[in-house]
């Protein structure tokens, strides 16, 4: 069965950076994109971007261009999200989600449990 | 990319049907059939309930159905049950190969 295990909650000061990890199992990691989606407290889902797990190619949402970096390590089936220049507006739960083991690549299907990132001074 | 437009809330009594709309543009929902719906209960990750406009993953009750007309997709839940109370989100792939979500609709079962 597909499992996504994310790194633990983090507390950061404004201006700092975060790096969240997402370890995948239960499917061929390089076959599907990995997406990152965040959700601020009480708010909706905000798509941040995807990484092609095979090639490492990326596509980022305009809102995060210049501040976000998505990478992966195929030797350990793990994807990473880095976000820099944090402000209090970046306080959110950050989810990784697979792009298709369940739906043959059609959509974002399996989701990780989320990583809470809190930014405050 | 603007978010897709969903009503903030809908409600219905047990056994009734409700429909949640999701309006986009010809650059996302109207582009092709990569429209999906998710159910999110409080404190949990979203769960996929509809993909490719009309398809249900295994294990999702057939009370959940999806459709699309032009730039608007819809999720219909028939035979409402108390356990259906949650927030529902639509999403679509765009012409830029990015993804966009709706703002979410809170379903209350009266």
Q: What is the DSSP string of chain A?
A: --EEEEPPPEEE-TT--EEEEEEEESS-GGGS-EEEEEE-TT--EEEEEEE-TTT--EEE-GGGTTTEEEEEETTTTEEEEEE-S--GGG-EEEEEEESSTTTTTSS---B---EEEEE--
Give the pLDDT of residue A3: 96
Residue A121: predicted pLDDT? 82
B8: tokens are 């903030």
Which residues lie across from B19 on neighbouring strands?
Answer: B76
In this predicted structure, what is the pLDDT of residue B48? 97
pLDDT of residue A95: 98
Chosen from B35, B46, B97 to mutate, greatest number of chain A CBs within 10 A: B46
Q: Which member of B45, B101, B104 has the closest CB to residue A111? A: B45
pLDDT(B82) > 80: yes
What torsion do the CA atoms of A32, A52, A59, B46 make, to the nearest 10 degrees? 30
pLDDT band at B1 (very low <50, low <70, confident <90, very high): low
Would you state the pLDDT for residue B2?
A: 73
Q: How far apart are CA B39 and CA A89, in angstroms?
A: 25
Q: Is the confidence at residue B103, as pLDDT, over 80?
A: yes
Q: Check CB contact under 8 Å for B46 and A95.
A: yes
Q: Judge whether B44 and B50 are in contact, CB under 8 Å.
A: no
Say if the Cβ atoms of B101 and A47 lie within 8 Å. yes
What are the tens digits of pLDDT across the range A38-52? 999 999 999 999 999
Q: Which residues of chain A have pLDDT under 70?
A: none
List, for residues B39-81, the tens digit of each pLDDT value: 999 999 999 999 999 999 999 999 999 999 999 999 999 999 9
Enclosing H/E stretch for B86: strand B86-93
Instruction: State yes or no: pLDDT of B32 exceeds 90.
Output: no
Task: Judge whether B34 is closer than 8 Å to chain A, CB to CB.
Answer: yes
Cβ <8 Å between A62 and B99: no
In angstroms, the CA A95 to CA A46 distance is 10
């Amino acid at each position: 069965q597909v499992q996504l295990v994310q790194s633990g909650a983090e507390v950061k000061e404004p201006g700092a950076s975060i790096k969240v990890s997402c370890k995948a199992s239960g499917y061929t990691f390089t076959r599907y994109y990995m997406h990152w989606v965040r959700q601020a407290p009480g708010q909706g889902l905000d798509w941040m971007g995807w990484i092609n797990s095979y090639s490492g190619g990326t596509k980022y949402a305009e809102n995060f261009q210049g501040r976000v970096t998505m990478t992966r390590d195929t030797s350990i089936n793990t994807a990473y999200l880095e976000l820099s220049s944090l402000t209090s507006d970046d306080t959110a739960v950050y989810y990784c989600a697979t792009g298709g083991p369940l739906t043959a690549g059609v959509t974002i299907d399996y989701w990780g449990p989320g990583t809470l990132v809190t930014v405050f001074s | 990319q603007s978010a897709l437009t969903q009503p903030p809330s809908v409600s219905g009594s047990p056994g009734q049907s409700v429909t949640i709309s999701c309006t986009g543009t010809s650059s996302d929902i109207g582009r092709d059939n990569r429209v999906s719906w998710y159910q999110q209960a409080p404190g949990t990750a979203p769960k996929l309930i509809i993909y490719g406009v009309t398809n249900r993953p295994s294990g999702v009750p057939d009370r959940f159905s999806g459709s699309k007309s032009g730039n608007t997709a819809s999720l219909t839940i028939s035979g409402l049950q108390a356990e259906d109370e949650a927030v529902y989100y639509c999403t679509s792939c765009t012409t830029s190969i990015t993804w966009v979500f709706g703002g979410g609709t809170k379903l209350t079962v009266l």
